[in-house]
Structure 1
Amino acid sequence: MKMQKEKSDLELIQAYIAGNESGVEELLNRYKSKIYTSIYLQVKDEYLAEDIFQETFIKVIKTLKAGRYNDEGKFLPWVIRIAQNMVIDHFRRQKRNPTVVSSEGYDIFGVLEFADESQESKLMINQRDVDLRKIIQRLPDDQKEVLIMRHFCEMSFKDIADITGVSINTALGRMRYALNNLRKMIEEHNLMLNIS
């Protein structure tokens, strides 16, 4: 008989559905780091990431118990997609925009910060950042998701395609549409972006 660690994702899911709680426990141990990291990269808050991680697994368990999981050999991308949706739902509920922080620890939208800026230029930059966040939030969810994953989480298009469950070409197309829509909205709002 196989050890839990040797079983495939599908075997563990089937064991869990059959009543063996350790099946889902092994899946959790197997993927918790990747799932938590994908959440944390978007929310940049340990406690919030832990909450969303727990909500994600509650939803996974409910879906498995209800027999609604459709196995295509892609358990991890399916769970990460649920996590992505939970993150988006969180920000919708909070009606606020996420602060996107780079790996160096600064807000991506605060790109233009100079030591001796005048108060007026600081106000203009702050307003530009607010406008840019609002415009990004107005993108369709699938475009916004790819834009955030690519530019702010620095994910490859292959990873984005795996997580979102689409082909690489579809992910590339969504990015192209997102950038075109951003340009149009920026022009419509006469937003001055002097990012070099």
Structure 2
Amino acid sequence: MKQELQTDSVLVRNYVDGDEKALSTLVYRHKQKIYSFIYSKVLDRDVTEDIFQDTFIKVIRTIKLGKYNEEGKFLPWVMRIAHNLVIDYFRKNNRMPKFDNSGDFNIFSVISDSSLNVEKQLIKDQIDNDLQKIILELPDDQRDVLVMRIYKDMSFKEIAECTGVSINTALGRMRYALINLRKLVEQKNIILTN
């Protein structure tokens, strides 16, 4: 049977058995979707290319080590790896986009006045900085959902697809993230208004 017609799981098995072309077929089959997803988050072709390559290096390593769990869900698994690498990129480069105040989450309604004086701007920057630090203290699954929802303005449907969980699970993680964030804000006595 031609490789183009084989399922992802058959191609993965063939790759494990030493067929290098099987991996090329998998990469070619899913490149557009994965590349577009990464680009939509980082908006930079060079960075997208790097993250795309890192994603497949991780995929190859995991498969070669025999740690790939065969569930016939190759693409969601690769998308999760790409998503985690995107988050790592933002973390490493301290380039988390700023919050936009989208109403629902009062905890994020930080000053949004374009005519901030220097003192207010310093306070706003400190608040943003404090928030980013405490977000890093959240459990990974909660932090990921919160970052995707608030920083990247992704819908819960997109978050669910990206993380390989149900919409209800994504909503639950967001709810717990906000509860835990409020607790951390209180514990650390962070003031979110000027």
Instruction: Report the TM range for the smaller structure's normalisation.
Output: 0.7 to 0.9
Corresponding position of 2:112: 112
Letter of the 1:29 counterpart? Y
Structure 1: gaps spanning 5 or more residues: 103-107
1:24 paired with 2:4, answer no
The CA distance in 1 between the partners of 2:139 and 2:109, in whole Å, is 20
RMSD between superposed Cα atoms in Å: 2.9
Q: What secondary structure is seen at the aligned counterpart in 1 of 2:144?
A: helix
Match of 2:96 among 87, 99, 107: 99
Q: What amino acid is aligned across from residue 182 of structure 1 in structure 2?
A: L
Query: How many angstroms apart in 2 are the aligned matches of 1:70 and 1:91?
Result: 28
Alpha-carbon contact 2:111-2:193 (below 8 Å) kept: no
Is residue 7 of structure 2 the alignment partner of residue 8 of structure 1?
yes
**Shift in Å, 1:178:** 0.5
1:180 is aligned to 179
Aligned counterparts of 1:158 and 1:66: Cα–Cα separation in 2: 32
Q: Which amino acid aligns with 1:192?
A: L
In the TM superposition, what are the counterparts of 1:1-196 in structure 2 within 5 Å?
A: 1=1, 3-90=2-89, 94=92, 97-100=94-97, 112-114=112-114, 116-188=115-187, 189-193=189-193
Contact 1:131–1:191 at 8 Å: present in 2 too? no
Residue 109 of structure 1: how far off its partner (Å)? 9.9
What amino acid maps onto 1:13 in structure 2? V
Secondary structure of 1:61's counterpart equals helix
Aligned length: 185
Q: Which sits farther off after the overlay, 154-163 or 5-14?
A: 154-163
* Residue 30 to residue 121, structure 1, CA distance change in 2 (3 Å): same
Q: Measured at CA, do residues 76 and 119 of structure 1 come closer, stay the same or move farther in structure 2, by a change above 3 Å?
A: same
Q: CA deviation at 1:113?
A: 4.4
Distance 1:150 1:33, change over 3 A: farther
Q: Give the drift of 1:75.
A: 0.6
Distance 2:165 2:184 in 1: 26
Identity %: 52
TM-score, normalised to structure 2, is 0.78
- Cα deviation, 1:102-146, whole Å, max 9, x if unaligned, reads 9xxxxx9997241x3322122122222212211222211111101
Matches of 1:162 and 1:91 in 2, distance apart? 20
Alpha-carbon contact 2:39-2:45 (below 8 Å) kept: yes
Partner letter of residue 85 of structure 2? M
Are the structure 2 counterparts of residues 51 and 113 from structure 1 closer, same or farther at C-alpha, using a change threshold of 3 Å? farther
Q: Conserved in 2, the CA contact under 8 Å of 1:41 and 1:153?
A: no
